[in-house]
């Protein structure tokens, strides 16, 4: 059985949680899927948070697992409950339920968590009455944003004497109460009914409100029953959560207790940090914060492989669960993630291997979601990688033609197998960049590490290699990090290696660059990270 060297994904990530929606331009055709070799894991290893699932932030939680008289005590998360209206004795907690007893018609009682401050709240709770009202209605209000005691956004469940519930989204600003949306729900207010309520209040200027109510014995409705937006100036601020009970002036069977249980409020999504603005190429060392899908990008999942066969196609915000083949000129892939899939055929996440094809990959992440020995990162020629986070493949870039640029990218954590079926069960020949033939290549301002064989391998296996510039990179790994092998095709021409920093993890000590005596490598200002000059070692 093959065993890969495992790595720990980088803990700092550039892109943030995003909704899986977005746009895809023309020129895409699905390809057939070969037999699986391993199982794709789309939930791990991605370093762009747009391609992973983040846990929403907890705002408030209370299961009322305590006994309290004269108030509701302190929530598990969210601080102490504060009562307003009635007497202290009207507020009690027991057996997992908090109660407020409205003892007279026309009275209102409220219990709130004033220490909670959020403008992005998804509030869930179970609300019920201890008995049905007679002669009038009882309001059970759930406030998702309580800016003050007299200002906020509420979901009002008005339990009517006929057993129905009129649900309304309302804004309260002092004495001004505005109904934003309303709907009557039949039969939900009958005696003994417990209502599961959900109120989402997000954003400012405007604020978006969404709500639904259903019996706790039923399943949650798929659609929102009430939606609205509002931009009342006084309410465009973070606020707490609250619950209120009000008995109409004509109610004849007070006291009526409004009961609350299972309170849970979270944000609707994890906090999104501000996008990182990369500096000038070569002035910084790229990592997971400056490469990959930018913060806040919205992604569309595409299941399966893609062939891009239309010139000038732009792919923007795509989450590809397969491989991409480019057969057209001037293709752009940006703000996207390409994860690959299970395969037992030699391939790459992105292939551009035609003289009539060219592709630029920008601000994207490429990795193999089904780790195995058959997949490289990018294969071919006529391609440019810019601010790309590329990891968990054998060769990051496998070049066999002209016109390749790799800049400001993060190439790291190659897969390596001691028993590799793609190498006749010998160890993997994983290189960060392998150049088999071609002219006119620029490798500038990258962070390249993690290969077992070589960081940048010149082989000339398929033809001559000439005019390659390696400039302002952070380079590490391999037996020697830059390895030039003529393979009987004569000296390399036009090879420049300058202004690079080299790490110290090479298997051969002090071997930053190795080249035959017949090849002249133009070098300047290359140093190891400890300040020692990195020179060219002569080999055969």
Residue 138 · residue 256 · CB < 8 Å? yes
SS3 153: strand
β-pairing verdict for 324-326 and 347-352: parallel
What whole-number percentage of the chain has pLDDT above 70? 90
**pLDDT for residue 428 is more than 80:** yes
Residue 531 · residue 537 · CB < 8 Å? no
Q: Specify the DSSP class assigned to residue 50.
A: G
108/103 Cα distance (integer angstroms): 9
**pLDDT for residue 35 is more than 90:** no
Q: How does pLDDT run across 44-100, given as a tens digit for each residue?
A: 788 887 776 666 889 999 999 999 999 999 999 999 999 999 999 999 999 999 999
The torsion angle over the Cα atoms of residues 519, 523, 526 and 528, rounded to 10 degrees, is 20
Q: How does pLDDT run across 241-267, given as a tens digit for each residue?
A: 999 999 999 999 999 999 999 999 999
**pLDDT for residue 32 is more than 50:** no
Q: Give the confidence band of 175 by pLDDT, cuts at 50, 70, 90.
A: very high
> Which residue from 476, 483, 520, 521 is spatially nearest to 502, judged by alpha carbons?
476
Residue 54, C-beta contacts closer than 8 angstroms, at least 6 positions apart: 16, 17, 269, 270
pLDDT number for residue 39? 74
pLDDT number for residue 10? 37
Tell me which of 56 and 127 has the higher pLDDT: 127
Residue 272 · residue 297 · CB < 8 Å? no
Residue 308 · residue 335 · CB < 8 Å? no
Q: How does pLDDT run across 360-402, given as a tens digit for each residue?
A: 999 999 999 998 899 999 999 999 999 999 999 999 999 999 9
**pLDDT for residue 14 is more than 90:** no
Q: Give the confidence band of 461 by pLDDT, cuts at 50, 70, 90.
A: very high
pLDDT number for residue 124? 97
410/422 Cα distance (integer angstroms): 25
520/292 Cα distance (integer angstroms): 36
**pLDDT for residue 336 is more than 90:** yes
233/227 Cα distance (integer angstroms): 19
**pLDDT for residue 34 is more than 80:** no
Cβ neighbourhood burial of 227 (10 Å; 0-12, 13-18, 19+): middle
Q: Give 209-244 as a 3 state SS string.
A: EEEEEEECCCCCCCCCCEEEEECCHHHCCCEEEEEE
Q: What is the mean pLDDT of residues 400-408?
A: 98
34/437 Cα distance (integer angstroms): 29
Cβ neighbourhood burial of 65 (10 Å; 0-12, 13-18, 19+): exposed
Task: Share the mean pLDDT of the chain.
Answer: 90
Residue 290 · residue 412 · CB < 8 Å? no
pLDDT number for residue 420? 86
The answer to which of 174-188, 309-323, 435-449 has the lowest mean pLDDT is 174-188
SS3 412: strand
In angstroms, the first-to-last Cα distance of the chain is 35
What pairs with residue 350 in β-bridges?
324, 378
Cβ neighbourhood burial of 98 (10 Å; 0-12, 13-18, 19+): buried
pLDDT number for residue 271? 63
β-pairing verdict for 195-202 and 207-215: antiparallel
Q: Give the confidence band of 328 by pLDDT, cuts at 50, 70, 90.
A: very high
pLDDT number for residue 278? 87
pLDDT number for residue 15? 34
pLDDT number for residue 42? 79
What pTM was estimated for this model as a whole?
Answer: 0.64
Q: What is the mean pLDDT of residues 496-516?
A: 96
Q: Give the confidence band of 272 by pLDDT, cuts at 50, 70, 90.
A: low
pLDDT number for residue 24? 33
């Amino acid at each position: 059985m093959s065993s890969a060297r495992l790595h720990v994904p980088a803990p700092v990530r550039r892109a943030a949680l995003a909704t899986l929606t977005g746009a895809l331009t023309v020129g895409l055709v699905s390809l057939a899927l070969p037999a699986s070799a391993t199982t794709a894991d789309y939930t791990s290893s991605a370093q762009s948070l747009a391609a992973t699932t983040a846990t929403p932030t907890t705002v408030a939680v209370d299961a009322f697992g305590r006994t309290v008289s004269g108030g509701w005590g302190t929530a598990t998360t969210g601080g102490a409950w504060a009562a307003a209206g009635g007497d202290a004795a009207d507020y009690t907690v027991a057996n997992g339920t908090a109660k407020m007893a409205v003892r007279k018609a026309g009275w209102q009682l409220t219990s709130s968590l004033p220490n909670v401050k959020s403008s992005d709240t998804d509030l869930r709770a179970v609300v019920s009455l201890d008995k049905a009202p007679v002669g009038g209605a009882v309001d059970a209000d759930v406030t998702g944003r309580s800016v003050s005691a007299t200002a906020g956004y509420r979901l009002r469940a008005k339990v009517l004497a006929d057993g129905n519930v009129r649900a309304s989204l309302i804004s309260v600003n002092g004495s001004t109460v505005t109904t934003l949306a309303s709907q009557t729900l039949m039969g939900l207010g009958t005696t003994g009914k417990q209502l599961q309520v959900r109120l989402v209040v997000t954003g400012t200027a405007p604020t978006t409100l969404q709500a639904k109510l259903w019996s706790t014995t039923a399943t949650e409705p798929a659609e929102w029953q009430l939606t609205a937006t509002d931009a009342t100036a006084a309410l465009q601020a973070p606020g707490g959560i609250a619950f209120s009970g009000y008995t109409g002036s004509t109610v004849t069977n007070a006291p009526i207790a409004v009961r609350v249980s299972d309170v849970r409020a979270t944000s609707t999504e994890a906090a999104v940090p501000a996008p990182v603005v990369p500096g000038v190429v070569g002035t910084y060392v790229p990592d997971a914060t400056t490469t990959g899908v930018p913060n806040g990008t919205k992604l569309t999942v595409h299941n399966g492989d893609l062939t891009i066969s239309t010139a000038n196609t732009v792919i923007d915000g795509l989450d590809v669960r397969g491989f991409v083949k480019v057969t057209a000129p001037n293709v752009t892939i940006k703000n996207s993630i390409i994860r690959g899939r299970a395969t037992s055929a030699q391939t790459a996440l992105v292939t551009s291997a035609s003289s009539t094809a060219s592709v630029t990959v920008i601000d994207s992440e490429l990795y193999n979601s089904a780790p195995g020995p058959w997949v490289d990162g990018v294969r071919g020629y006529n391609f440019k990688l810019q601010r790309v986070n590329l990891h968990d493949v054998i060769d990051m870039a496998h070049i066999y033609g002209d016109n390749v640029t790799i800049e400001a990218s993060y190439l790291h954590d190659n897969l390596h197998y001691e028993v590799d079926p793609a190498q006749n069960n010998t160890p993997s020949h994983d290189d960060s960049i392998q150049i088999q033939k071609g002219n006119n290549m620029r490798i500038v301002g990258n962070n390249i590490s993690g290969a077992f064989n070589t960081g940048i391998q010149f082989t000339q296996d398929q033809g001559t290699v000439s005019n390659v510039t390696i400039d302002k990179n952070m380079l590490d790994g391999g037996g020697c990090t830059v390895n030039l092998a003529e393979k009987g095709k004569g000296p390399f021409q036009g090879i420049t290696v300058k202004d690079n920093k080299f790490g110290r993890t090479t298997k051969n000590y002090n071997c930053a660059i190795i080249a035959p005596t017949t090849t002249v490598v133009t070098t300047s200002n290359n140093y190891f990270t400890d300040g020692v000059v990195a020179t060219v070692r002569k080999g055969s």
